[in-house]
Chain A
């Protein structure tokens, strides 16, 4: 039962993940953000940091309600990262499986939770870095998908080029099928794919040390649900048949089971039900505690010192990341996707799930490193060297789970400036060399072109001649960056977009 549920949700998750891309319609029907909407940690921290919660996040009350009744069933039955951890845990060496989970490790996740709650209360929203759903989507989008794509492509390219009779005849249709239904339309490439991938790999590998290491030691969502689960009427009853073989204690993946009455760690239990199944004496039962006092449980063992340290760290983290000169004046090259809220508000909302990075048609949206300060790590920014903002596309706003990027209509999108273009006349071919070029003008997508021409008479080696040189009409330019991307000077384009003139804030205005 549980396995079926777990695989169902994992497959659903992966299916939605693959479907979170442009599939021939302007609207994405079911982006994978729905999983984030069921995530109460995202809801709570978003509420604390921005005092606003998108309505869709109220779905997470369903998760809360389930937890109130049944305990941490989300972790054990639904969470796709939990399923992956369970899967990896199967490869844990035998002797490691028997070692008990210690209280010390289990506490860490509560401290992380408190740290996040306090820092988000003081407007620093970095929950997305460690929220399991956010982390999973980001890791898949930025690393796993690009890696899988590259591997598949290289493999099938090999068959394609070798053109082995028989083999290629089979591999090509298979490749086309994969390409149409599974793979990304074009090879995605992301900065920091390695870093994000190594973190993800480390988390999965940690299962070999302790099964569900992430869930028991680190996961702040697990901690939150654990706290909620404490008051659920669910109970675990150990009957009189129990002969204290301690099999259940050894086999428990989260270190929650106990063979004594009253030692069951309810907040750690993910309701997998394995101890009930495995018990040779049939002594373990789960049920609702509506009658007598049986089935007592152990509380969460927190240390006052640790809690205070976490709270203080949460408080001090906020000024710590903000003593950065960027808070005096932001970076001009930090171009946010269209519909992004004003920078401060944007940072309070973005949970770095990376869905916008994934759906971006041109791969232009990239995870930032320190361009927006440490606080803004892995938030989306445009790199027009890699891709640009497609004029009619509004996908990033559609998939954003917290409304950090507003969903725009195509009409609004056409009016939203994310920056402005300027020409580097020292490099621009017509200006610098007196040769016609105009690629930027040709690609400029605004209905009335923001890049226009002036005709100038210039001296060239072959005498005087008239050529057309591009000029930018700042009133029409929306900073989409296609000119920068398409400029034939690939090393360093002669037309560049910066944040100046962006619609969303007042910091980078220009007299237009």
Chain B
């Protein structure tokens, strides 16, 4: 039962009930047009703010994910001392929009932090995220060494590891990765972005990266994943630096299943989910759906 969340269970029951109750011709129509809330939305357009809003709205609005009084962690990728144009860090507009939407949905507090790879001060400033998120009302903090706790992750390779306490204590986690190339994992998206919530000698995880990532995905279960593909880094990732590898993609995707979101990211990048070992492993362990055809998906366009 471990692989099925309460929501999925309910959905199964409802779907089953609907199936029994509805007469034949209605059922076919119902499956053609998505019934119930969507799993995944791809939103395109030139304004990062608008497409982020549209993506979340199409999923059912932020109220679907955030309850009044929640403490929310919005976790961008701001691991590097790079500016937004270099597409190594999450687009600040996307982050700020989500912060604002969370607060509008009644969140008590929205936290933003990341255990960066380079000097956090520079990463926070140069990614533009600190300023944008603060302006939107978020609480941006640097990672405090005292707040790492060794926790039982009970994973395949991550048995015990240093985890940032606040990341576990918050009510909801919204993972906001950027879609970019990664030299070892091929791509870095949502699941890889979870590495910013742990401490320890993270570089050693590279020796068994795919397994470690799946262990992380099993431990942290974000409520919502918003994939920033406004600009994507097509090579030299994860850090990039040269503008010649940056491509304007004008897309933001949002979804509830982090495995599906990574699978979607791979597809957007022109790869198949099967090519990504960590997606395959995660799917095998029942952490999510990698077959996009099985999901209720929708595309929205904000530009007319």
Q: A453-B183, A487-B203 are in contact. Are A22 and B122 (CB under 8 A)?
A: yes
Least CB separation from B118: chain A residue: A390
Chain-B contact segment, one of A286-294, A440-448, A497-505: A440-448
User: Is B275 interfacial (CB 8 A cutoff)?
Assistant: no
Least CB separation from A187: chain B residue: B145
Q: How many angstroms from the CA of A435 to the CA of B204 in the assembled complex?
A: 11
Task: Identify which of A160, A435, A445, A488 contacts B201 (C-beta below 8 A).
Answer: A488
User: Is A344 interfacial (CB 8 A cutoff)?
Assistant: no
* A residues less than 8 Å from B236 (CB atoms): 447-449
* B residues less than 8 Å from A439 (CB atoms): 203, 206
B226-265 at interface with A (beta carbon < 8 Å): 236, 238-242
User: Is B146 interfacial (CB 8 A cutoff)?
Assistant: yes
Asked if A447 contacts B118 (CB within 8 A), the reply is no
Task: Identify which of B117, B122, B203 contacts A393 (C-beta below 8 A).
Answer: B122
Q: A390-B81, A391-B81, A442-B184 are in contact. Are A435 and B121 (CB under 8 A)?
A: no
Q: How many angstroms from the CA of A268 to the CA of B149 in the assembled complex?
A: 59
A492 to chain B, nearest CB (A): 15
Asked if A437 contacts B206 (CB within 8 A), the reply is yes
Asked if B207 contacts A437 (CB within 8 A), the reply is yes
User: Is A362 interfacial (CB 8 A cutoff)?
Assistant: yes
Q: How many angstroms from the CA of A125 to the CA of B233 in the assembled complex?
A: 49
* A residues less than 8 Å from B183 (CB atoms): 438, 441-442, 453, 468
Task: Identify which of A161, A362, A444 contacts B119 (C-beta below 8 A).
Answer: A362
Asked if B122 contacts A442 (CB within 8 A), the reply is no
Asked if B206 contacts A438 (CB within 8 A), the reply is yes
User: Is B209 interfacial (CB 8 A cutoff)?
Assistant: yes
User: Is A473 interfacial (CB 8 A cutoff)?
Assistant: no
Asked if B206 contacts A488 (CB within 8 A), the reply is yes
Q: How many angstroms from the CA of A438 to the CA of B125 in the assembled complex?
A: 27
Using an 8 Å CB-CB cutoff, how does the interface string of A416-451 with B read, 1 for contact, 0 for none? Answer: 000000000000010000011111011111111100
User: Is B126 interfacial (CB 8 A cutoff)?
Assistant: yes
Q: How many angstroms from the CA of A292 to the CA of B140 in the assembled complex?
A: 70
Interface size class of A (residues with CB under 8 A): 35 or more
Q: A442-B239, A449-B236 are in contact. Are A436 and B206 (CB under 8 A)?
A: yes
Task: Identify which of A361, A436, A443 contacts B239 (C-beta below 8 A).
Answer: A443
Asked if A436 contacts B201 (CB within 8 A), the reply is no
Task: Identify which of A391, A445, A488 contacts B203 (C-beta below 8 A).
Answer: A488
B200 to chain A, nearest CB (A): 11
Asked if B239 contacts A438 (CB within 8 A), the reply is no
Query: Is chain A's interface secondary structure helix, strand, loop, or mixed overall?
Result: loop
* B residues less than 8 Å from A22 (CB atoms): 119, 121-122
Q: How many angstroms from the CA of A488 to the CA of B212 in the assembled complex?
A: 16
User: Is A8 interfacial (CB 8 A cutoff)?
Assistant: no
User: Is A486 interfacial (CB 8 A cutoff)?
Assistant: yes
* A residues less than 8 Å from B206 (CB atoms): 436-439, 442, 488
A445-498 at interface with B (beta carbon < 8 Å): 445-449, 453, 468, 482, 486-488, 490
Asked if B207 contacts A435 (CB within 8 A), the reply is yes
Q: How many angstroms from the CA of A486 to the CA of B209 in the assembled complex?
A: 16
B207 to chain A, nearest CB (A): 5
Least CB separation from A439: chain B residue: B203
Asked if A390 contacts B209 (CB within 8 A), the reply is no
B side interface size, CB within 8 A: 24
B169 to chain A, nearest CB (A): 14
Q: A392-B81, A438-B183 are in contact. Are A361 and B207 (CB under 8 A)?
A: no
Using an 8 Å CB-CB cutoff, how does the interface string of B63-93 with A read, 1 for contact, 0 for none? Answer: 0000000000000000001000000000000
Least CB separation from A449: chain B residue: B236
Q: A391-B81, A487-B203, A488-B201 are in contact. Are A160 and B146 (CB under 8 A)?
A: yes
Q: A392-B81, A435-B207, A444-B239 are in contact. Are A24 and B184 (CB under 8 A)?
A: no
Q: How many angstroms from the CA of A490 to the CA of B200 in the assembled complex?
A: 13
User: Is A30 interfacial (CB 8 A cutoff)?
Assistant: no
User: Is A157 interfacial (CB 8 A cutoff)?
Assistant: yes
A52-70 at interface with B (beta carbon < 8 Å): none
Using an 8 Å CB-CB cutoff, how does the interface string of A379-404 with B read, 1 for contact, 0 for none? Answer: 00000000000111100000000000
Asked if B241 contacts A447 (CB within 8 A), the reply is yes
Asked if B201 contacts A490 (CB within 8 A), the reply is yes
Q: How many angstroms from the CA of A141 to the CA of B146 in the assembled complex?
A: 24
Q: How many angstroms from the CA of A487 to the CA of B203 in the assembled complex?
A: 7
Q: How many angstroms from the CA of A482 to the CA of B118 in the assembled complex?
A: 9
* A residues less than 8 Å from B118 (CB atoms): 390, 482
* A residues less than 8 Å from B203 (CB atoms): 439, 486-488
User: Is A316 interfacial (CB 8 A cutoff)?
Assistant: no
* B residues less than 8 Å from A482 (CB atoms): 118
* A residues less than 8 Å from B239 (CB atoms): 442-445
A129-172 at interface with B (beta carbon < 8 Å): 157, 160-161
User: Is A177 interfacial (CB 8 A cutoff)?
Assistant: no
Q: How many angstroms from the CA of A433 to the CA of B70 in the assembled complex?
A: 47
Q: A441-B183, A443-B239, A447-B242 are in contact. Are A436 and B126 (CB under 8 A)?
A: no
B157-216 at interface with A (beta carbon < 8 Å): 182-184, 201, 203-204, 206-207, 209
Q: A391-B81, A439-B206 are in contact. Are A361 and B119 (CB under 8 A)?
A: yes
User: Is A185 interfacial (CB 8 A cutoff)?
Assistant: yes
B114 to chain A, nearest CB (A): 16
A415 to chain B, nearest CB (A): 14
Q: How many angstroms from the CA of A229 to the CA of B147 in the assembled complex?
A: 57
List 6 A-B pairs, minimum CB-CB distance, nearest first. A447-B242, A447-B241, A488-B203, A439-B203, A361-B119, A488-B204
Interface residues of A (CB under 8 A from B): 22, 24-25, 157, 160-161, 185, 361-362, 390-393, 429, 435-439, 441-449, 453, 468, 482, 486-488, 490
Sample (21) of A-B pairs whose CB atoms are under 8 Å apart: A24-B121, A361-B119, A361-B121, A361-B122, A362-B119, A390-B118, A390-B119, A392-B81, A392-B122, A436-B184, A438-B184, A442-B239, A443-B239, A444-B239, A445-B81, A445-B239, A449-B236, A468-B183, A486-B203, A488-B201, A488-B204
Given contact pairs A439-B203, A442-B238, A488-B201, a sample of 19 additional A-B residue pairs in the complex whose CB atoms are under 8 Å apart: A24-B125, A25-B125, A160-B146, A390-B118, A390-B119, A392-B81, A393-B119, A429-B207, A436-B206, A436-B207, A437-B206, A437-B207, A438-B184, A442-B239, A445-B239, A449-B236, A453-B183, A488-B203, A488-B204
